[in-house]
């Protein structure tokens, strides 16, 4: 059941199964306690009733990543009639254009990014020109418990149209997983997640995890398609608790906070990766894009960026975090070691680049 990532369809979902390389954030095993002794699942949800309540407050999100010759898809949750939408950061990360289609009226809107929090994998976006959209019914994640019946809903497979419905139950609270970004953003740990036995699939990212009342209690963020428990075989998923997601959205609305980036993304013009095991620390340059500040400064594939404005860069994530604290037009001094082992340094004026 191995699969190869498609170059033209990416960032559909964080995937946890090591043998299933689905486009998106690729990760290792979740840090999860054994499930022995978990309460028996409650009765399944009424699909028709839940979908009737949830669907109007959703959008399908489609992205184009021109620099990577790729497209992506995911889901968004409408928070405000004017078109304010909650989704995962990895759904929009690296996008050079974003559109969203309302499942309430069928209209497709251009999307502006208000801000994002990379560590929490949450983004807040706005549908340009939208109005009078139905909003999602929000519950509270503080009230959920192991064994509760839930359903993950979203744009499974990026196919659009009627959303998918994946019922199941909660198997763990407070789960963690370490994920690595195939586009070179480095690894990150997602913590305090809701773990569910449900067939969460690529494209469900950013979509709602709902309770039996059709209220959103989480934001789908990760999945494994190799889950087994007893005689049950199918998918397993992870969701960001809605209380935390709404807290991040509030910080973005208010103009910032720790880990929050507002507005356009600063851009050097390189694709980066973590260093090889045992190799020198730094952000390894995998690609230098034409007509960018990096190309003008002389950076080349194989170079290793070691510091920015005197701040040590030990991994690709370090450089991403540094960039999140800056904006287009800022001047920073990059230091790197070139492919021949020579130390180099140059001031770079940051451009405006892809989202996230």
Q: Which domains does the chain have, with CATH numbers?
A: 1-262 (2.40.10.120), 264-352 (2.30.42.10)
What is the predicted pLDDT for the residue at 324?
83
What is the predicted pLDDT for the residue at 106?
96
Catalytically annotated residue among 90, 102, 141, 164? 90
For 274-299, the pLDDT digits (tens) are 888 888 899 999 888 888 889 999 99
Q: Name 161's Cβ contacts closer than 8 Å, sequence gap at least 6.
A: none
User: Does residue 205 have an active-site annotation?
Assistant: yes
The whole-model pTM stands at 0.79
Say how far apart CA 3 and CA 21 lie, in whole Å: 5
pLDDT class of 265 with cuts at 50, 70, 90: confident
User: Does residue 324 have an active-site annotation?
Assistant: no
pLDDT class of 186 with cuts at 50, 70, 90: low
What is the predicted pLDDT for the residue at 179?
60
Q: Name 179's Cβ contacts closer than 8 Å, sequence gap at least 6.
A: 14, 16, 25, 26, 27, 187, 188, 189, 190, 222
Q: Name 37's Cβ contacts closer than 8 Å, sequence gap at least 6.
A: none
What is the predicted pLDDT for the residue at 124?
97
For 284-340, the pLDDT digits (tens) are 998 888 888 899 999 999 999 999 999 999 998 889 888 888 888 999 999 999 999
Catalytically annotated residue among 27, 60, 102, 121? 121
Instruction: Express as a percent the part of the chain with pLDDT over 70.
Output: 79
For 240-258, the pLDDT digits (tens) are 999 999 999 999 999 878 8
| CB-CB contact of 332 with 281 (8 Å) | no
User: Does residue 69 have an active-site annotation?
Assistant: no
Catalytically annotated residue among 141, 205, 307, 335? 205
**The pLDDT of residue 39 is above 80:** no
Q: Which residue has the higher pLDDT, 192 or 354?
A: 192
The DSSP line for 43-108 is: PPP-HHHHHHHHGGGEEEEEEEEGGGTEEEEEEEEEEETTTEEEE-HHHHTT-SEEEEEETTT--E
Say how far apart CA 44 and CA 197 lie, in whole Å: 12
For the segment 179-200, the average pLDDT, to the nearest whole number, is: 74
**The pLDDT of residue 211 is above 50:** yes
**The pLDDT of residue 16 is above 80:** no
For 40-60, the pLDDT digits (tens) are 445 568 999 999 999 999 999
């Amino acid at each position: 059941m191995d699969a190869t990532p498609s170059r033209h369809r990416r960032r559909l979902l964080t995937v946890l199964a090591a043998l299933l390389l689905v486009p998106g954030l690729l990760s290792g095993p979740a840090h999860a306690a054994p499930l022995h002794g978990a309460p028996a699942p409650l009765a399944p949800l009424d699909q028709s009733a839940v979908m009737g309540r949830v669907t109007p407050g959703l959008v399908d999100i489609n992205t184009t990543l021109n620099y990577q010759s790729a497209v992506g898809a995911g889901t968004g949750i409408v928070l405000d009639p004017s078109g304010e939408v909650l989704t995962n950061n990895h759904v929009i990360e690296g996008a050079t254009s974003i559109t969203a289609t309302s499942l309430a009226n069928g209209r497709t809107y251009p999307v502006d990014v208000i801000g994002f929090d990379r560590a929490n994998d949450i983004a807040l976006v706005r549908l340009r020109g939208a109005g009078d959209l139905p909003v999602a019914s929000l519950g509270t994640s503080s009230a959920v418990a192991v064994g509760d019946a839930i359903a993950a809903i979203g744009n499974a497979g990026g196919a659009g149209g009627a959303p998918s419905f994946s019922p199941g139950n909660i198997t763990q609270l407070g789960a963690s997983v370490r994920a690595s970004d195939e586009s070179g953003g480095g690894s990150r740990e997602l913590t305090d997640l809701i773990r569910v036995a449900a067939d969460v699939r690529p494209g469900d990212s950013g979509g709602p995890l709902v309770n039996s009342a059709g209220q959103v209690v989480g934001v789908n963020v990760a999945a494994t398609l190799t889950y087994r428990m007893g005689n049950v075989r199918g998918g397993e998923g992870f969701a960001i608790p809605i209380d935390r997601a709404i807290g991040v959205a509030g910080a973005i609305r208010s103009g910032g906070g720790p880990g929050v980036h507002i507005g356009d993304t600063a851009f050097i013009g390189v694709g980066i990766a973590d260093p090889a095991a045992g190799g020198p620390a730094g952000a390894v340059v995998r690609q230098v894009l034409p007509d960018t500040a990096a190309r003008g400064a002389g950076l080349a594939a194989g170079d290793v960026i070691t510091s920015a404005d005197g701040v040590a860069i030990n991994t690709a994530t370090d450089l991403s975090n540094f960039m999140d604290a800056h904006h287009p037009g800022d001047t920073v001094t990059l230091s790197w070691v070139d492919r021949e082992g020579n130390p180099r340094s140059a001031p770079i004026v940051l451009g405006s680049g892809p989202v996230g």
